[in-house]
Amino acid sequence: MGMLEGKKLLVTGVLMDSSIAFHVARLAQEEGAEVVLTSFGRTMKITQAIAKRLPVTPPIVELDVANQEDLDSLADRVREHVDHLDGVLHSIGFAPQGAFNFMEGTWEDASTALQISAYSLKALGVAALPLMAPGGSIVGLTFDAKFAWPVYDWMGVAKAAFEATNRYLARDLGPKGIRCNLVAAGPIRTTAAKSIPGFQHFEEVWDDRAPLGWDVNDPVPAAQACAALLSDWFPATTGEILHVDGGVHAMGQ
């Protein structure tokens, strides 16, 4: 019997088979879960094509986290495929190019990054709540926001807000029996990463700083952590950030 046997999960952010979200969906299916994906707009066709590479091709529902109508109707549309949800993976992030220059970024740049990359965790949690069963789990993906990273700038600020949002969501959903946790992954060469100017800086130094080493082409360790948090193996853990970064978060300079 698989770790996620009988679970029904909503997975966002499947864009390429190199993405952490893709491997969460794959592992979830292999461990016995039923998976529903989300996508929207021009990326829908990409998600539809990539979804066929999963062990079972899952249904895909439209979800733009900046569109309140999408959020308000999400539960009803997901209910067409599953009768409830045991878990949700938040793998959503976006910032305009201007947000990657801290001093010159505009409020429009910053506010877009904050809405899509931080507030959306709360928005998705609320949207999925009517379907969430007690004992359910919301898991999000972050990039350790304790530091002022080179080139990350307003996206780093958004990730700090994302991590704070997780804590407040854990507080408010805990009484309903729902856990909220994050996985802080090291840099992975994904579609999102390629949109960050200077991302190669992280690639060049991370493996040297990680006591366990680090492979920027391997999203599986982070995906395994997400799958574990979506399972019943962490029943008393919420508001937590689990680092899957080769140990870099614990090292000095």
Cβ density class 104-140: b for 16+ within 10 Å, e for less: ebeeebbebbbbbbbbbbbbbbbbbbebbeeebbbbb
Q: Which of 7, 152, 176, 194 is catalytic?
A: 152
Own/partner pairs, 108-115, CB within 8 angstroms, 24+ separation: 109/154, 110/154, 110/157, 110/158, 113/154, 113/155, 113/157, 113/158, 114/157, 114/158, 114/161, 115/66
Q: Which of 122, 159, 176, 194 is catalytic?
A: 159
Cβ atoms within 10 A of the Cβ of 252, count?
4
Q: Would you call 159 a catalytic residue per the annotation?
A: yes
Confidence label for 151 from pLDDT (cuts 50, 70 and 90):
confident
Taking all residues of the chain, what is their mean pLDDT, rounded to a whole number?
A: 94
55-106: pLDDT as tens digits = 999 999 999 999 999 999 999 999 999 999 999 999 999 999 999 999 999 9
Q: Would you call 7 a catalytic residue per the annotation?
A: no
This prediction's pTM? 0.95
Q: 204 and 145 in contact (C-beta within 8 Å)?
A: no
